[in-house]
Structure 1
Amino acid sequence: MGNTPPRTAVETADRVTRAVASAVETVRAALTDAHRIRHLRAFVELWPGSALDRAAEVDARVADGARLPLAGVPLAVKAAEGTASHQARRLIAAGAVPIGATSVPAPGTRWKTWGHTDGGPTLNPWRADRVPGGSSAGSAVAVATGVVPLATASDGAGSTRIPAAWCGVLGYKPTTGLLPARDRAGLTVGGPIARTVSDLELYRSTVLGGASAAAPAHVRVAWSPTLGFNRPDPEVVAVAERALRRWARTCGVTLSEPRLALTDPAESWLSRREQNSPGSQTDVGVDNLSALAELFAAADLLATPATPNPPHPHSGPGEVMSVGFTWLFNLTGHPALSLPAGLTPDGLPVGLHLVARHHEDALLLAAARSAEQALPSLPENPLGGGVRASER
């Protein structure tokens, strides 16, 4: 399959804008690649006709002098949202071309870390016997295999960050309130899955209107391997911590290890979802809020593993709550993301989870860009590759 990495959204839009490539040929290549990974069942629908028509419209607009930040960028959209969500509409208006709807879990399951299609479950591109994470399962697989550089997702308990972590890509949950809530409980926030921080920043500028920022000269990061209530797999913790310490050594990040003793937010999260009402932040618990306020007074970021467990078999996660590190921040509203930290000894991706203060999304992404530059890239995933048909 070759060693050329798939192009980013930033690179793709630049090529289409400069007429080095057309949106039509770019989208056609993405559709070809979507068929190439059909064994992974990332998509529930492909839209070749409408995608190529829209790509032709983008080419015509570019020829007329339009400046489109996402000109000709193939976009996968989460099936539960489609193209009608606020984020999808903003991306499409900026020149992105939706090529299909990605898989989400079927109703009625107790866990949501897999994707359902008529052909069977969505497969993790690193190991076919493991789930890709969810609920934005197909979006993560489509990005991880290089079919698209950018996909829409949504995150009510970790549904953007968990599949990103388990497929070896990036997932970003913005500060709650920057996008219209996807549920009446105010838990579910839209966001992107991408392969690079530059593409997350492109998403942010296009959808949220925020400008990029430089990382502070001395980023202060507090590391917590448990948050006080998780019992994570030691291999997962080791991979995430090793990545964090490499970033710290390479970029001068100041690390601390506070004795963070938060309480499990399960009851608060389930209660808010059951009541289908936003409630208030105090539902999380005064002690939790106080501890987080104290932590963010002394640190710029909180770092944890993205999940307590590696990707689990299709039979289910057992007793482990895969949302153990993520769903607290759906209740509190803090911005958070997962970036690739490395692989476990048996070759499964692990995510490093970073959380910032409210509305400090620019700092969060700037810090992630610094970490991305310090950490080695993951190898090509064995089942889906990551090389576009047009580049082989």
Structure 2
Amino acid sequence: MDNLATTWVGATAKQISRAVRRGDTTATQVVADHLEQIAISDPAIAAFRVVRAGEAIAEAEKVDDQEDLGNLPLAGVPVAVKENTPVAGLPTWHGSAAARSAVAEEDHEVVRRLRGAGAVVVGVTRMPEMGLWATTDGVEEPTRNPWALERTPGGSSGGSAAAVAAGLVPIAQGNDGLGSVRIPAACCGLVGLKPGRDVIPCDLGLDGWFGLTENGVLATTVADAALGFSVMAGRAPVKLVQPGRLRVGVSLRSPVAGVRPDQPNREAVATASKLLVGVGHDTVTADPPYSTAVGLAGLATWFACAYREADAAGLDVRSLQPRTRRHVALGKFVWRRGWVRQQQRDAWREKSIRFFADSGIDVLLTPALATAPPPADGHAGGSWRRNMQVNMAYAPYAAPWNIAGLPAIVVPVGLRPDGLPLAVQLVGPPDSEVLLLEIAGQLEVANPWPRHAFV
């Protein structure tokens, strides 16, 4: 922590907003502190595509000029926004210059809500090309994991996760189409919430990847995740309480055949299970009804997302990375043959909801990852086949719950023997976002985690 710029770097969003509202500090001071920390640390991490230094200070001054800060739950809180989410006055990069769209004339609705709550957007964070991959790197440089610079922070919201884990912002927006908030949260030791369908406005790209994509939040504490979720969902701040006795299903089964979690990830689930029993819940073995048909439908949908987004944006496919070109080509193939159907996704959603009812469980506990985060380098220029192998081998647990449209959260549970974070995933039925946050809060109290890896 020798490189900390000031005491406000590393503070939680709740601590910052409370201090600004009380007049103990100013939004301008808080934002200046974080911009200084970004200048110190981001050259090693490459979390940000663009830092809005001058604009952020000007916006912080406007927050300070408001007469009544009492109704601003994020007063003066620096936030980062993923680069596929329109921010007025900036291009929307989508992970590469080849996929970049024009300068946005207005903010995306979630950005508008963050700013309306008093938050200050200090910059937009990097993602892999078109958000397709679970590693965040481009042809220029990879984004690095603050816990181990040679490792990836995950993807596709890898820049947002790296920024929060390094203390460059207390919370960040991300979005999750097949795990893109939860995978980086697990890689970087953060709380990462993907809400269920239609809880937070999405409206990204053509149709949000057939409705699979949801905007979510990355934070170092459950309280901050709840605060960010409340603001983006347009709700009053969530008040978390102790949930009653729950029945928790526990599963190590991977959705991808032949992939098994390594020993540290199995131990993470065992640790979380014991902690949940310790706070009064019951645990039972309950494996979701994954099937080859669901897996193939998920793959075809992933491919088709790439093709349809590229086609709708009029992208020159030849300018894209080799791995992305192959993904787009496969997407064109499966889409034109009618292999991607809404009925498949609807059937899995219904089956997933029945799984909770039939098994009698309130929530499901799974690993967040199967292995350690892979190396940071070499993916953007690598082959499609190699990228697919890496993605599916280390991060198989997230995607089914996007297809089902169910809420899910990743929660840290400690560190691997190599010092990288460990995490678990909790999944719930529709409208269980607050319950998932409450259970995550119980895990946090019972087993606090290191909040930052300062660089």
TM over 0.5: same fold? yes
CA-CA distance at 1:250 after TM superposition: 2.9
Does the 8 Å CA contact 1:342/1:350 hold for their aligned counterparts? yes
| Partner in structure 2 of residue 373 of structure 1 | 445
Distance 1:10 1:267 in 2: 43
**Range moving further from structure 2, 246-255 or 227-236:** 227-236
Structure 2 vs 1, CA of residues 288 and 241 (structure 1 numbering), >3 Å: closer, same or farther?
A: same
| Identity rate, percent | 32
Correspondence 1:90 to 2:113: yes
Q: Which amino acid aligns with 2:448?
A: P
Distance 1:67 1:170 in 2: 25
**Range moving further from structure 2, 203-212 or 96-105:** 203-212
1:217-366 equivalences under 5 Å are 217-227=244-254, 229=256, 231-264=259-292, 265-273=294-302, 274=304, 279-280=341-342, 282-284=343-345, 286=347, 289-290=350-351, 292-297=353-358, 298-313=360-375, 314-316=377-379, 319-320=389-390, 321=392, 322-366=394-438
Distance 2:244 2:132 in 1: 44
1:73 to 54, 64, 77: 77
| Partner in structure 2 of residue 193 of structure 1 | 218
Where do 5+ consecutive residues of structure 1 fail to align?
386-392
Q: Which amino acid aligns with 1:90?
A: R
SS of corresponding position for 1:45: strand
Post-superposition CA distance 1:136-185 (Å, at most 9, x none): 11100110011111101000000000001001111110111112332411
Post-superposition CA distance 1:318-344 (Å, at most 9, x none): 725044111111110000011112222
Correspondence 1:45 to 2:115: no
Does the 8 Å CA contact 1:41/1:117 hold for their aligned counterparts? no
| Partner in structure 2 of residue 123 of structure 1 | 144
Distance 1:364 1:302 in 2: 10
Structure 2 vs 1, CA of residues 248 and 136 (structure 1 numbering), >3 Å: closer, same or farther?
A: same
SS of corresponding position for 2:211: coil
Correspondence 1:60 to 2:69: no
Correspondence 1:114 to 2:131: no
Does the 8 Å CA contact 1:308/1:324 hold for their aligned counterparts? yes
| Partner in structure 2 of residue 390 of structure 1 | none
Post-superposition CA distance 1:222-267 (Å, at most 9, x none): 1101146452232243332233134224311211112444225332
Distance 1:255 1:34 in 2: 43
Distance 2:448 2:267 in 1: 13
1:205 to 195, 211, 230: 230
Q: TM-score, normalised by structure 1?
A: 0.89
CA-CA distance at 1:205 after TM superposition: 2.0
CA-CA distance at 1:364 after TM superposition: 1.1
1:161 to 182, 204, 220: 182
Where do 5+ consecutive residues of structure 2 fail to align?
88-106, 309-334, 380-386
Does the 8 Å CA contact 1:75/1:97 hold for their aligned counterparts? yes
Distance 1:11 1:153 in 2: 22
**Range moving further from structure 2, 178-187 or 46-55:** 178-187
Structure 2 vs 1, CA of residues 42 and 65 (structure 1 numbering), >3 Å: closer, same or farther?
A: closer
CA-CA distance at 1:380 after TM superposition: 4.8
Post-superposition CA distance 1:297-329 (Å, at most 9, x none): 511110111122210013456725044111111
Distance 1:117 1:55 in 2: 34
Distance 1:291 1:217 in 2: 23
Q: Which amino acid aligns with 2:46?
A: R
Correspondence 1:152 to 2:173: yes
| Partner in structure 1 of residue 162 of structure 2 | 141
Post-superposition CA distance 1:28-54 (Å, at most 9, x none): 001011112121111111111110000
Distance 2:69 2:256 in 1: 55
Structure 2 vs 1, CA of residues 259 and 81 (structure 1 numbering), >3 Å: closer, same or farther?
A: closer
**Range moving further from structure 2, 363-372 or 266-275:** 266-275
- Alignment: residue pair count: 379
Q: TM-score, normalised by structure 2?
A: 0.77
CA-CA distance at 1:212 after TM superposition: 3.1
Correspondence 1:180 to 2:180: no
**Larger helix fraction of residues:** 2
CA-CA distance at 1:349 after TM superposition: 1.5
**Range moving further from structure 2, 283-292 or 234-243:** 283-292
